[in-house]
A and B are shown apart, each in its own frame.
Chain A
Amino acid sequence: MTTYIIRRLVQAFFVLIIVTLLVFLAMHLLPGDPILIFVSSGELKNTSSEEIEALRQQFGLDRPLLLQYVDWLAGVARGDFGISITHRRPVMDEISRRLPITFQLSALALVISTAIGLPAGVVCAVRRGKWVDTIVTVLANAGITIPVFWLGIMLIYLFALKMGWLPVQGFTPLTVDFWKGMRQMVMPVFCLSIFSISSTTRQTRSSMLEVMRQDYIRTAWAKGLKERVVIMKHGLKNGLIPIVTLLGMSFSFIVGGSVLIENVFNIPGMSRLMVNAVFVQDYPIVQGFVLLIAVTILLTNLIVDISYGWLDPRIRYG
């Protein structure tokens, strides 16, 4: 197992280099110049070419591309992700302020989608063809097809503007004001988790239906085991592998979905920082963000792969 993990980590290192290099080149190949964008935004203002050149030198954008990339990599190795062009603050400061916000929303969405999707899928499989299966399946199909930004706007309209039950927007850390923070999180977390709840429900139902037809399940029923034991111990555990794979992928979907949700609900998370940075071509922020996301996704996949061995002892890693 240790050898397997080390091999995966070495692979991950090269994947990270390739990903960051591609993003670096893509950002620099896009039309536009971050310094020109920087001085052109906002109010009407005269700008001299000296000002523009001074800024370009200040951020090292006057140097060859390869040198800029190598410098950035060397900085990352030292834990220095560079200075944001627009914010003029260390990228790490910005990321460390934003990351907990996105992480809190994403983790909550993942927990909720698992807590609802898994039992809902099991119930559907066990009660196949009954009214509960029909209703949950219809809702799951709807949940997969509803665009999250539309859902977000509708929720704001209904629950914030019309009923006044929830605040329209914003984010308050739970440590600052627990109830305000919770109320602000209801709609964004619902939007973030809706797709994942639906897909987990569908996958669990399908996986459980497959497992429940197996001989060992029939044997378990024949032994007179309780329904809970048959379903949870013999059925669910054996049906979990595709579900765990899906949950690993759900994390990527949730992080991707947070780009829209943070914008709609005005949440100052990582995704909003990233979107703003892409528009103004703030290279250091974009590169830092991509590196972080790539590391997170690679680690998630590694954990998912390792969990296969725990779920099915027949799986061994060489």
Chain B
Amino acid sequence: MKNILALLCVGILLGLAVAGCGEPSPTPAPAPAPAPSPAPATSPQTPKSGGTFRYINPRGPANTIGWLAEPGPPLGLYACTMMEGLVDVDYKGTVKPKLATAWTIAPDLTSITFTLRLGVKFHDGTDFNAAVAKWNYDQFLAAKLANVKDVSSVDVIDNNTIKINLKKYSNTLLSTLTSTYMVSKAAFDKVGKDGLRWNPVGTGPFKFVSFERDVVLKVARFPDYWQKGKPYLDAIEAHFIIDPLTASAAFEAGEADAIGGDVAKVLYDLGQKGNQVLKSYTGAITLIPDSKNPDSVWSNLKVRQAVDYAIDRDAIVKARGFGLWTTTYEFAPPDASAYIKDLPARTYNPEKAKQLLAEAGYPNGFTTKIIGDSSTTDKEATVAVQGFLSKVGIEAQLDWVDFAGFVQYVMGGWKDAILACANGFSAANLNQGIDFVWSQTAAFFPSVLKTDQLQTLLNESMGAKDYDPALVQKVLRYMHDEVMFLPLYCITRGHAVKPYVHDTGFYTQQSWAVFTPADTWLSK
């Protein structure tokens, strides 16, 4: 008996060691997959009612899930199950009715009139109408939120019509209004914003059940939802698991039906195991030089161009992208309407890079620093960039900082260095991303030279009544010519989803963080 016990102990230890060593041999880097495009919006099968859809995300909502009229990070992924705005915008930029059935932009571009949907009820049983919509917008205006910065006031025309008066027209307005979710005024009068913050009362297909920070958010079907017959699911549970290995193990063990994230290797592996991988471009990894600082070597256009030629993007994407990255030379993702197909890309050419450096007065190169965001930027890919720069004589020291430290650079500025970080965009309306980050009024990247010419082009593009890809391309060409930043590769965010889950709508909407909970159904 003693011998058996002893053998058992040793066996357990050996088992653990073997399990540790038993990892499959390193996965060879796959060939780059075709460029991702949004998942199909609908499934050909007939939807089935019932069931609970459980999905995993690394982080839950930070500061609120029910009161949005105050500064703070947005939370579309969680709010979209319970709350709705006047309109929706899909991945391609098409504006679709939601709580508004129609809208008219005034010919002089000074206002937008919305016709509101009749018969919509909040989760507390009260009616959604023009007075409530105006009250909601008044809260956003009082909080001076950036997403209503171009709105001056809101008028009630009749019970189901409101007019949003504008200080300045921008074709990004409808896109930004998608996140101004409507909240029940009656609930606010009863519990105030502190009460609403963690007990959302919206008009969405699901109503709030419970929220446990870092654990789970539970919502249940709202029987009085205005889209009759929807939602199909009985409930949705969002589970928050921060460790990607644990999250992926929980998904594989059947503890969830979908898992979201941006770790390319994890998504690739889950895709290889028969799961659907829904994905879309959410941004590009870029190098951003401090071009505004006249004393910096990076203020020299030829130096920036040289670096653009010096980096072999294709090699990096092939080695590290697991089929989820795509080489890029511009701000627009390849599936955006404003993507410039004939852009004169500065493809890998180290000789040309050396020549440009010599012309710029640096024939022997120079030393610099790459400041990397350790939370979003692939370290190995950045080391590869460092290697390519070294080949043309630029010795770059790598400085990895955590998110907290990196934000300080992004918002406060940096000197004699390039930032390596993810740069988000929305393919639906690129004006929005450019305005948020690269306009002269944007709080981000103050060390980048944002010229009057760029601002003029951007104003022209944003001021057009309808989103015009040709005007956006002018902005993009200017940014490319000036090498304001160096896009290296487009990154994708994705969800691995079990085969029995249908019509989640992940990545079919303007924001990667929003899906279509009312349409989602399970066939198991």
Contact = CB atoms under 8 A, between A and B. Distances in A.
Interface in A36-52: 36-52
B74 A169 contact: no
A290 B14 CA distance: 39
Contact of A44 (B247, B407, B410, B424): B424
A39 B214 contact: no
B249 A43 contact: no
B408 interface: yes
A88 interface: yes
A39 B461 CA distance: 27
B63 A88 contact: yes
B512 A36 contact: no
Interface residues of B, number: 65
A76 interface: no
Given A139-B13, A272-B214, A168 B249 contact: yes
Contact of B249 (A30, A47, A50, A161): A161
B224 to A, nearest CB: 29
B157 interface: no
Interface stretch (A108-116, A195-203, A273-281, A299-307): A273-281
Contact of B145 (A43, A51, A157, A276): A51
Given A41-B62, A44-B426, A45-B73, A32 B253 contact: no
A37 B403 CA distance: 8
B467 to A, nearest CB: 17
Contacts of A34: 404
A167 B401 contact: no
B13 A42 contact: no
Contact of B16 (A42, A54, A97, A154): A154
A168 B407 CA distance: 34
> On chain A, which size bracket covers the interface?
35 or more
B16 A158 contact: yes
A272 B242 CA distance: 10
Contact of A87 (B2, B62, B242): B62
B168 interface: no
30 contacts: A30-B404, A31-B408, A32-B402, A32-B407, A32-B408, A36-B408, A38-B63, A40-B410, A42-B62, A44-B432, A44-B433, A45-B73, A46-B146, A46-B176, A51-B146, A87-B63, A88-B63, A88-B64, A94-B213, A155-B16, A156-B246, A156-B249, A168-B246, A169-B246, A171-B215, A264-B243, A268-B214, A272-B242, A273-B214, A279-B403
Interface of B: 2, 6, 9-10, 13, 15-16, 19-20, 62-64, 71-76, 143-147, 149, 176, 179, 197, 212-215, 240-243, 245-247, 249-250, 252-253, 255, 283, 401-405, 407-408, 410-411, 424-426, 432-433, 435-436, 442-443, 511-513
